[in-house]
Amino acid sequence: MSDINFVNIIDMEKPNIDGAITYKLKDGKSLSEIIDISERFIDPSYDSVFKTIFGDGNTVNNINGNQRLLDLLNSIVYANNTSKKFIKITTRSNEANIMDKETKGMLRLDISCEAKISDNNNKTNKMVNIEMQLGKVKDIIPRLYTYGNHLYRIYKKETYVIAFINNDYLTENNESQYIETLSFYPNGQKRKDLDLMKIIIVNLNEEIQKIRKNQKIEIMKNELDNKGICWLKLLGIRQWGITFDGFYYFPKNLIFPSEELKSAFMILKEYNEIQLAKLINIEESDKHLIEVSYDLGREKGIKEGKEEGIKEGKEEGIKEGKEEGIKEGKEEGIKEGKEEGIKEGIEEGKKRKTLSLLVDIYNKKKESLVELIDLIDGENSTFKMEEIEKKFNEEPKKEEFIQLLQKKRKIIKNNNNND
């Protein structure tokens, strides 16, 4: 059998009585090959396998995990885009530990990193989180937003969350059966004109069905080329492949559109029966654990968030109340202080009746002119002009004071005459 390109295989049938698998090709033809002489490999969507393919390290044929990750990102996010692409994985972040610490064990990311993007020679760094979702999480979009929101808050960089949904949940529930690009306000509300976070959902079940029908595949309005289609086919093998004892079989010497894809396929061929059985058991337990723990974690988060909100609200209320109280108290204190000051000044004036005290009260308490006049009785109002002039630095105030004093003297004199 001649070598066959992986992109040309669009469907397969179960092994027949002779143990041969029949493959359907894009051109309508088919070919058969006995399992015993075929290449055997496992599903790449198991958590540890997925991380082995795209994690840091694991070099195969001089291709490492970073190179495979860049190849996947450019094939899916920037398909057929000649001006914009991922060019380098700058750092592998340790978000799993950060997430666990911040969310009390609720989040655990699959593959995340900081990647450099070249856009018409303008280079910027972005955070990228790639998720392979096998379990049927009820609110997958809020969950993906939670992942992206944490990365954005921690690293303060534009964030891409790319989720490969490898189950039929979205189709069953009439949710997005395709790909959705979402932008958000910080509170989670959708916003079209904000480009700080993108959530890209690739429904592998839906896309594989299109591939089998030889239909066009678009992601973010970009049509995927053969490389992008092969990545979807490989990652979504459980959506269309036929298993025999948990393994998938393809003709030997498959041709792939990139060395990165070929190296990923070679990794998948290295797993044996014991490793596969362990992965299957882990997946079954993880599915249940993820669904249950996420629901519990969400309920716990709502409860704790409410408690923290009440606590913060109470503290904020006390703080604002205290500030408002201080402000009101200060205003009342000033008012009462003025009144008390006038009162004390009057009392002190009655006792001392000195020109200096009268002038001081006059300068500082202009609103107390009536009280000032009342301080000046008939016997002690004969202050000399030169004494008054020495006490005032400002001419208008001196003149006003003298006029008030003269007015008071006139009143006293008239009263005395009437008596």
Q: How many CB atoms lie within 10 A of CB 273?
A: 11
Instruction: Tell the burial category of 319 from Cβ atoms under 10 Å away from its Cβ (0-12, 13-18, 19+).
Output: exposed
Same domain flag for 45 and 191: yes
Q: Residue 188 contacts by C-beta under 8 Å, 6 or more apart in sequence?
A: 142, 145, 149
**CA 76/CA 115 separation, integer angstroms:** 15
Any idea what DSSP says for residue 6? G
Nearest Cα neighbor of 188 from 136, 152, 134 is 152
pTM of the full structure: 0.64
**CA 80/CA 97 separation, integer angstroms:** 35
Q: Which residues on adjacent β-strands are paired with residue 159?
A: 127, 197
Q: What is the tally of structural domains in the chain?
A: 2
| Token pair belonging to 20 | 């041969």
- Which of 222, 243, 271 terminates a domain? The answer is 271
Indicate if the alpha-carbon torsion angle 101, 107, 113, 115 is positive or negative.
Answer: negative
Q: So what's the pLDDT on residue 2?
A: 56
- Which of 223, 252, 271 terminates a domain? The answer is 271
Q: How many CB atoms lie within 10 A of CB 263?
A: 22
Q: Tell me if 261 is assigned to some domain.
A: yes
Same domain flag for 212 and 111: yes
Q: Tell me if 339 is assigned to some domain.
A: no
- Site of tokens 């997925």: 50
Nearest Cα neighbor of 203 from 232, 182, 230 is 232
**CA 257/CA 208 separation, integer angstroms:** 18
Same domain flag for 48 and 196: yes
Same domain flag for 146 and 257: yes
Q: Between β-strands 197-203 and 159-165, what pairing exists: parallel, antiparallel or unpaired?
A: parallel
Q: Tell me if 98 is assigned to some domain.
A: yes
Distances (CA, A) of 265 to 39, 60, 98, 233: 10, 10, 32, 12
Q: Tell me if 375 is assigned to some domain.
A: yes
Same domain flag for 216 and 68: yes
Q: Tell me if 59 is assigned to some domain.
A: yes
Q: So what's the pLDDT on residue 190?
A: 59
Q: So what's the pLDDT on residue 151?
A: 80
Same domain flag for 238 and 362: no
Host domain of residue 401: 353-418
Helix (H, G, I), strand (E, B) or coil at 59: coil
Q: So what's the pLDDT on residue 90?
A: 85
Same domain flag for 252 and 392: no
Q: Tell me if 316 is assigned to some domain.
A: no
**Cα-trace Rg, the chain:** 41
Instruction: Tell the burial category of 380 from Cβ atoms under 10 Å away from its Cβ (0-12, 13-18, 19+).
Output: middle
Measured in whole angstroms, the distance separating CA 43 from the mean position of its chain's CA atoms is 32
- Site of tokens 């006059």: 362
Q: Which residues on adjacent β-strands are paired with residue 133?
A: 165
25 — phi, psi (to 5°)?
-110, 165
| Token pair belonging to 79 | 């398909």
Q: Residue 289 contacts by C-beta under 8 Å, 6 or more apart in sequence?
A: none
Sequential pLDDT tens for the chain (419 residues):
557 899 999 998 888 888 899 999 988 899 889 988 899 999 998 888 998 999 887 899 999 999 999 999 999 988 888 788 888 888 876 544 455 455 444 456 678 788 888 877 788 888 888 888 876 666 777 778 878 877 877 788 888 888 898 876 554 544 444 444 555 555 556 555 445 778 888 889 889 999 988 898 988 788 999 999 999 999 999 998 888 888 999 998 899 999 999 999 999 999 988 888 888 777 765 554 445 444 554 555 555 556 665 666 667 667 767 777 777 777 777 777 666 666 666 565 555 556 666 666 666 655 455 555 555 544 455 566 666 766 666 677 777 777 777 776 676 666 666 65
Q: Tell me if 331 is assigned to some domain.
A: no
DSSP of 181-223, one letter per residue? Answer: EE-B-TTS-B-TT--SEEEEEEEHHHHHHHHHTT---EETTEE
Q: Tell me if 335 is assigned to some domain.
A: no
Rounded to 10 degrees, what is the CA torsion of 298, 180, 197, 287?
A: 30
| Token pair belonging to 100 | 């666990």
Same domain flag for 265 and 358: no
Instruction: Tell the burial category of 312 from Cβ atoms under 10 Å away from its Cβ (0-12, 13-18, 19+).
Output: exposed
- Which of 271, 296, 322 terminates a domain? The answer is 271
